[in-house]
Structure 1
Amino acid sequence: MDGRRVCVLMVLWAMTHLSCPGLGLRALRRTTGGRRAGLTGQDANGVPLRRSKRGWMWNQFFLLEEYTGTDMQYVGKLHSDSDRGDGSVKYVLTGDGAGTLFKIDEKSGDIHATKRLDREEKAYYILHAKAVNRFTNEALEGESEFIIKIHDINDNEPRFTKDPYMARVPEMSDIGTSVIQVTATDADDATYGNSARVVYSILEGQPYFSVDPETGLIKTALGSMDREVKENYQVVIQAKDMAGQMGGLSGTTTVSITLSDVNDNPPRFTKTLYEFRVPESNEVGSAVGVIRAMDADIGQNAEMDYRIIGSDGPGMFDIMTNKSTQDGIIVLRKPLDFERKRQYSLRVQVENVHINPRFYSMGPFRDEATIKIVVEDVDEPPVFEHGSYVMKAKEDAARNTVIGSVSASDPDDKNSLVRYSIDRRTDMDRVFNVHAGNGSVFILRELDREENAWHNISVIATEFNNPRQISRVPVYISVLDVNDNAPTFATNYETFVCENAKANQRIQTISATDPDEPLVGHRFYFSLAQDAAGKANFSVRDNKDNTAWILTRRNSYNSLQKSIYHVPVVISDGEFPMQSSTNTLTIRVCTCDREGNMKLCNAEALTARAGLSTGALVAILLCVIILLVIVVLFAALRRQRKKEPLIISKEDVRDNVVSYNDEGGGEEDTQAFDIGTLRNPEAIEESKQRRDIVPETFYPPVRRPVLPPTRDNNGDVRDFINQRLQDNDSDPTAPPYDSLATYAYEGNGSVAESLSSLESVTTEGDQDYNYLSEWGPRFKKLADMYGGDDSDRDS
């Protein structure tokens, strides 16, 4: 048994055997003086005092935890005054752990612990004891409660709440800056001794950090810690109980401390002079070069801002900061020209965006560098003197007239010759051309301002030595107006005059139009043609406001004598050279009432009165014709879609007089008509009854005289056919209604004799073919309609 446990046992022995109130084993015995109760006197009030029996009085038992002996650990002894030592008293123990952790000797009352106890698991046990008669099981004493308390020993080391701890502290922090607080706990009893009193100390991490021994607060111990030198630190903290005395238990934890960055470093260029070469053909907005400054800081502390603080080409360049890489990008802002300036020098400065005032004393947080930009020569296309050209040409200008010129030159030092040409994609009609050597633009065709007032073309300039170097310039050509069009009526006038009109009566107001556009505006002059002035029925009065009145020159007009008058009106403009034209005004004579309202006029006048012009009438007529054509085509299509005819070919029509589309009765159906009767109209028709139906009544056949068609009478094959159709419709014995009847007529003869072309070839002499003009088309039409052949035409 080690010294620590010996000390504890000695303390427990002293507490048990010394005469401390409530701690001796004797205090566990019954303290009554006897079993009888009697009067012992009276109190102040005269009430007799009676001695009563006192019950069990129990105190605490103390038991050392973590007992390591081989025998059961003795706890204490129970004893009752009723116990005479004859074995009649039985001691009974109940409560926490009774019978398992704690056992009692029924005869002697000795209590022992059967197992090793841990105070951190359970600090005390509450039990109940009583004494009973072993034979009768009667209670000799009332049940009483007592406590077995476990005495603590230092058997638990301190434990930290985390392992490892993570912490951050800004670099260059002052000494004593708090970093993090660590905490360790001890499971031993903090109210008894120093077993749970913890003291903190630092094992690793000095001299950079320190720890408060009582609170566990870690602080910085060095004020010059630089993140750029060392960023991460591992600190080991120890917690020891027994107030840190020898023999105490301890535990450790690791604290990982990272220095966070502060802006304590300025940006620095890697070079003091940068040089870039750029072709003069670079476009505006393109990057010329990239520069970079280094900053030992990170994050926003390393964000930089570049700017140009000096340049021998103001406005030529600009510098921008790439936010992701913190590079400085030099951008071209104006076009470069090798021939004008071949080199530029820039002074550039870089500075941190976020500056920490705490570190101003360390110096300026900026840096400067020089940039040299060399412009390289590039073979450039010709350059026109102007970005665009505007030229003017009169519309009556002659061909090959020069209307202007363009000029371009080679901007390179070699100064190559330039050739000019027209971009034919902008002048597909080949109206203009340009002189290849001097750039003079001239006309190839006559111009017409009324057709096209502006022409937009492009002229191409090409280097003679390098045809791939070309440039274009737009040329806008305005066609100037020339008075080359005569004025005409502003519209197509439809005018009428009443028969009862009076002299000098206005019947129409006319105006004029002219496609020319004079600078001062139009001025038209109206007059009556000289050749009609002597015999004119109407006069023209110029109103001097570009309008004129048509006036009557007599009192009455007669539509029966003359219904239409044509008045020639001369219209001229006031420009130079003066242009004039004669326009005819048509005036119709109409019957009017007293108020001058038209009552009766010819169709054309009515149309005019209704407000319809000749063009409108033509349009309406065309629409009607188109509608008729559509109707005819629609009807033709409907005929083509009809059911297939019963008789397929001409041969069927000739060989079969009657054709059914259903199952017939055989040969009996062919008796519906007498073929001989059809071919010989003079044959007597016999009355035959239809076999497919039973007529309700019989109607006697009607016989009508039939005359063959000849040139001498008015008979016609058409009359013959119509008569047959009427007879067939009125005859109840006629074939069914879905049958087709074909009539072939054989005439008695023809004055033309034979129509055969063979006979006409072999016959000598001239032959009269006049009959063809009358009967030929008719027989052809009948043959096509009713299935006739050449033999029928001969008939």
Structure 2
Amino acid sequence: MAVASAAPGSDFCKQLLFSLLVLILFCDACQKISLQVPSHLPAEALVGKVNLKECLQSASLIQSSDPDFRIQEDGSIYTTHDLMLSSEKKSFSILLSDTQREEQKKIAIVLEAGGQKGPERHLEDTVLKRSKRRWAPIPCSLMENSLGPFPQHVQQVQSDAAQNYTIFYSISGPGVDKEPFNLFFINKDTGDIFCTRSIDREQYEQFPLYAYATTADGYAPEYPLPLLFKVEDDNDNAPYFENKVTIFSVPENCRTGTSVGKVTAIDHDEPDTLHTRLKYKILQQIPDHPKHFSIHPDTGVITTTTPLLDREKCDTYKLIMEVRDMGGQPFGLFNTGTITISLEDENDNSPYFTETSYFTEVEENRIDVEILRMAVRDQDLPNTPHSKAIYKILQGNENGNFKISTDPNTNEGVLCVVKPLNYELNRQIVLQIGVLNEAQFSKAANAQTPTMCTTTVTVKIKDLDEGPECQPSVKVIQSKDGLPAGKELLGYKAVDPEKGSSEGLRYKKIGDEDNWFEINEHTGNLKTVKVLDRESKFVKNNQYNVSVIAMDADGRSCTGTLVVFLEDDNDHPPDIREKEVTICRHDKDFAVLEPVDLDGPDNGPPFQFFLDNAASKLWTIETKDGKTAILRERQNLDYDTYTVPIQVKDRHGFAARHILAVRVCDCTTPSDCKMTPKGVRDIKPSNVILGRWAILAMVLGSALLLCILFTCFCVTAKKTVKKCFPEDVAQQNLIVSNTEGPGEEVMEANMRLPTQTCNICDTSVSVGTLGGQGVKTQQSFEMVKGGYTLDSSKGGGHQTLESVKGLGQGGMDTGRYGYTEWHSFTQPRLGEVYLCGQDEEHKHSEDYVRSYNYEGKGSVAGSVGCCSDRQEEEGLEFLDHLEPKFRMLAKTCVKK
């Protein structure tokens, strides 16, 4: 609620005013404030300022009832966002709270848009006259460091509304109610603004203030007036270097114009004015001669002016610098600083020896001993690659007796002996040694490239009685193979270097594996105690080693090795080490012989193999590749063991005769041979001489045998009766036996069945069953000493091995048949055996008894018909003694 000022001379108004003041003291509402604002208010715009303390002295919480406005603690009212006043007036309240006293107050705020004037005044007697508007920003500046007098008048603000109303002026902002406080104040009646003290521009460049014009009742006829007081700069700050001590570095011997560094200075006066326009200058160089550096006056860049910077002469320079403002004018303010320039080392100085030559001495035969130290000097920076020395032996060390290294602590060259020196060979050695740096040399301006410094070292060798020398350590002598005992060979010779001969030395043998030699103590020569054998196990690569020690009178010794190289002699004939070989008929029909000759290759293969006359009738031998031989049978021999004499010769004809035991066996591999021979058949030529009557008897016997055989053959051809069993015992008959199981698969390579069908047997053939067991295919066989007969009632007739051989039924051969005869007889008939007992439809024939024309004489086997069950009288023991071919044939016959 606004309080209107009373008219003078009105008692009623005075009383009314007093009553209203009393009501305000006891009311929660404070004075109503009206502010004139434009219709459009931007965000964060200052609307006005209210004295909050007049309403509530101790307000702890200040709030606005309208979110469009925010209230600060000093009573300033700001918009929160762009605001467009749609009506001429807008009202809201400022809520003040004191939480401790639990007291609340409210200030009503009325905003009038469009310059709406305040409450009605009694203007009947007042004449309004318009003049030029004075409520506007006025440019104003303050001089820093002003000397006063203070308070100093700055500016006056006035409002045109003062012509109609009583206006009170106020200001706010930095320098008034913000830091720095109380720097400005305003006369509330006249609007004059004063400054109370001098101002430092470097601290406060300007002061943004607001001026307010209000009536006594709180009405603001003017917008808040922004005032900007700018402080004008005074050149009251001298420039100064950013770093009090600045250190730059530059390589020595660098070119002219090389940039060393840039100095910078700071001036707090106003930028881009003469107060901060700086100039740089070198006042002094220490040392001052010659002048090596210059500086750019505007940028502060320091550069070199000569290429003669030498770190070895002066490694550090100091520059006294000046920086001045006002463009370097004499009246400008200035400061000085010190710049330190350090020169970086370059390897522009070569090391050199402190002495031009050196002399030292060392005893012979000493190794790993230090004999000399050499010092060098280098003007470059110590303990850097520019000054660290590397020593080299340039001449005199062709044999590698010396080595030189660098002591990392002292930088000295250390000369050592790493290989024994011999006084007798060289009594003095002169070495040339050079020295360099780890880093490469750099050429200075107007100077030559540094060169290597050299010096000479004379090494004197002291004589020392070091004892005998075994040089060389290994000596080779030659000897013939088979050298007999008692022969002398040249031995190992050591030398006494003091005497230059072997006089006075004693020799002793310390290594002789097979004790072949004895050694002469005085001469060192060897004498054989055994026959030298190159083929001995102690000989490696035709060499036999003997270790010898040589000693002088003082006991000093050396050790050498004598290598006896044995020349090969043809003293060993070829030898067949395997005296027993096996020929497996099912694998291969020959044996491979591999002789061994202990002699060298010059006295070894190619070998020659020979058989005796008697052995060559049954055997053949042929050379395969000069190293091995193949022994074959000339004809199929019986399974047995035979002695075969074989003679083997080497390339020079040195021969040896060997007797081999050759087993001819029915096997696949030699390990499968289970033959137990009755005795080895000796086929050596007999020494018995037959008489004339014995020879005549043999001729007559042979003629008689031929007649008998011819007769048997003729009788057999005429006979038509099939013979099943010969007139011999049952143990010589092959009987097909039935088995419950199918038996094993026959994998014999020699049992090959023909593919064509033969009508040698048909369904009319009937054979008796052995042991009373029926079989699907029954055959009748007859065996006489390894032969058998095949019975066929259809076309084939009755054939026996005897008939094939031409013996016939009337003859009986008591000998054993050979494998070739057996094979030639059985091979074409295996297919017939396989198909025997089948009819045309390949069905098995019935088992029935068939009578035979001939069953043999005195057979203990009895009947072989299907009704025979007298197993105990069959006499089948002979089956255990049959050869494997017959067992395979029997299995083939029973297996379908």
Please indicate, yes or no, whether the TM-score normalized by the shorter chain is above 0.5.
yes
Matched, 1:402 2:402: no
Which of 385, 388, 395 is the equivalent residue of 2:474? 388
Q: Shift of residue 567 of structure 1?
A: 4.0
Secondary structure of the residue aligned to 1:361 is: coil
Equivalent residue, structure 2, for 1:179 = 260
Compared CA separation, residues 606 and 219, structure 1 to 2 (3 A): farther
Compared CA separation, residues 360 and 466, structure 1 to 2 (3 A): farther
Matched, 1:72 2:151: yes
1:690-722 per-residue CA deviation (whole Å, 9 max, x = no partner) reads xxxxxxxxxxxxxxxxxxxxxxxxxxxxxxxxx
Instruction: Write the letter of the residue equivalent to 2:487.
Output: T
Instruction: Write the letter of the residue equivalent to 2:189.
Output: K
1:570-619 per-residue CA deviation (whole Å, 9 max, x = no partner) reads 6365799966446254667x999xxxxxxxx98325999xxxxxxxxxxx
Equivalent residue, structure 2, for 1:122 = 204
Equivalent residue, structure 1, for 2:316 = 232
Matched, 1:62 2:141: yes
CA distance in 1, matches of 2:336, 2:298: 15
Q: Shift of residue 228 of structure 1?
A: 1.7
Equivalent residue, structure 2, for 1:634 = none
CA distance in 2, matches of 1:300, 1:391: 58
- Kept in 2: contact 1:210–1:220 (CA 8 A): yes
Equivalent residue, structure 2, for 1:296 = 379
Q: Shift of residue 141 of structure 1?
A: 5.2
Equivalent residue, structure 2, for 1:780 = none
1:516-548 per-residue CA deviation (whole Å, 9 max, x = no partner) reads 43744355564549xxx7xx9966777698869
Secondary structure of the residue aligned to 1:166 is: strand
Q: Shift of residue 378 of structure 1?
A: 3.7
1:82-138 per-residue CA deviation (whole Å, 9 max, x = no partner) reads 657x9933122244434443211112322122455321122122333344333x444
Equivalent residue, structure 1, for 2:242 = 161
1:477-507 per-residue CA deviation (whole Å, 9 max, x = no partner) reads 437445356745754134699xxxxxxxx99
Secondary structure of the residue aligned to 2:484 is: coil
Instruction: Write the letter of the residue equivalent to 2:676.
Output: E
User: Which is further off, 273-282 or 287-296?
Assistant: 287-296
Unaligned runs of 5+ in 2: 1-126, 668-672, 681-896
Which of 508, 516, 521 is the equivalent residue of 1:421? 508
**Where do 1:634-713 residues align within 5 Å?**
none
Compared CA separation, residues 409 and 181, structure 1 to 2 (3 A): same
Which of 245, 256, 278 is the equivalent residue of 1:198? 278
Compared CA separation, residues 55 and 350, structure 1 to 2 (3 A): same
CA distance in 2, matches of 1:118, 1:439: 116
Equivalent residue, structure 1, for 2:429 = 344
CA distance in 2, matches of 1:585, 1:210: 116
CA distance in 1, matches of 2:455, 2:577: 82
Q: Shift of residue 149 of structure 1?
A: 1.9
Secondary structure of the residue aligned to 2:676 is: helix
- Kept in 2: contact 1:67–1:73 (CA 8 A): no
In the superposition, the TM-score normalised over structure 1's length comes to: 0.55
Instruction: Write the letter of the residue equivalent to 2:515.
Output: R
**Where do 1:742-781 residues align within 5 Å?**
none
Which of 144, 147, 153 is the equivalent residue of 2:228? 147
Equivalent residue, structure 2, for 1:273 = 357
Instruction: Write the letter of the residue equivalent to 1:404.
Output: L
Instruction: Write the letter of the residue equivalent to 2:524.
Output: G
**Where do 1:471-490 residues align within 5 Å?**
471-478=559-566, 480-483=568-571, 487-488=575-576, 490=578
- Kept in 2: contact 1:126–1:146 (CA 8 A): yes
Secondary structure of the residue aligned to 1:281 is: coil
Matched, 1:437 2:516: no
Secondary structure of the residue aligned to 1:103 is: strand
Compared CA separation, residues 483 and 177, structure 1 to 2 (3 A): closer
Unaligned runs of 5+ in 1: 1-33, 38-51, 498-505, 593-600, 609-795
Secondary structure of the residue aligned to 2:268 is: coil
User: Which is further off, 101-110 or 234-243?
Assistant: 234-243
Which of 532, 535, 549 is the equivalent residue of 1:461? 549
CA distance in 2, matches of 1:116, 1:525: 139
In the superposition, the TM-score normalised over structure 2's length comes to: 0.50
Q: Shift of residue 409 of structure 1?
A: 0.7
Matched, 1:259 2:343: yes
Which of 166, 169, 172 is the equivalent residue of 1:91? 169
- Kept in 2: contact 1:381–1:471 (CA 8 A): no
Paired residues, number: 527
Matched, 1:513 2:595: yes
CA distance in 2, matches of 1:177, 1:539: 112
Secondary structure of the residue aligned to 1:604 is: coil
Q: Shift of residue 142 of structure 1?
A: 5.3
Compared CA separation, residues 162 and 316, structure 1 to 2 (3 A): same
Compared CA separation, residues 255 and 300, structure 1 to 2 (3 A): same
CA distance in 1, matches of 2:455, 2:666: 105
Q: Shift of residue 184 of structure 1?
A: 0.9
1:715-761 per-residue CA deviation (whole Å, 9 max, x = no partner) reads xxxxxxxxxxxxxxxxxxxxxxxxxxxxxxxxxxxxxxxxxxxxxxx
CA distance in 1, matches of 2:641, 2:220: 162
Instruction: Write the letter of the residue equivalent to 2:422.
Output: D
- Kept in 2: contact 1:483–1:579 (CA 8 A): no
**Where do 1:502-541 residues align within 5 Å?**
511=593, 513-517=595-599, 519-521=602-604, 526=610, 528=612
Secondary structure of the residue aligned to 2:319 is: strand
Instruction: Write the letter of the residue equivalent to 1:440.
Output: N
Compared CA separation, residues 447 and 119, structure 1 to 2 (3 A): same
Compared CA separation, residues 491 and 163, structure 1 to 2 (3 A): farther
Equivalent residue, structure 1, for 2:659 = 583
Q: Shift of residue 271 of structure 1?
A: 0.8
CA distance in 1, matches of 2:301, 2:432: 52
CA distance in 2, matches of 1:270, 1:289: 14
- Kept in 1: contact 2:468–2:497 (CA 8 A): yes
CA distance in 1, matches of 2:610, 2:536: 27
- Kept in 1: contact 2:135–2:157 (CA 8 A): no
CA distance in 2, matches of 1:170, 1:78: 68
- Kept in 1: contact 2:353–2:377 (CA 8 A): yes
Equivalent residue, structure 2, for 1:604 = 676
- Kept in 1: contact 2:570–2:603 (CA 8 A): no
Instruction: Write the letter of the residue equivalent to 1:232.
Output: T
1:268-316 per-residue CA deviation (whole Å, 9 max, x = no partner) reads 2211002233443256x998755453221234544666556665x7566
Equivalent residue, structure 2, for 1:133 = 215
Q: Shift of residue 423 of structure 1?
A: 2.4
Equivalent pairs: percent with the same residue?
A: 25
CA distance in 1, matches of 2:550, 2:578: 51
TM-align CA RMSD: 4.8
Equivalent residue, structure 2, for 1:569 = 645
- Kept in 1: contact 2:351–2:378 (CA 8 A): yes
- Kept in 1: contact 2:295–2:302 (CA 8 A): yes
Secondary structure of the residue aligned to 1:195 is: helix
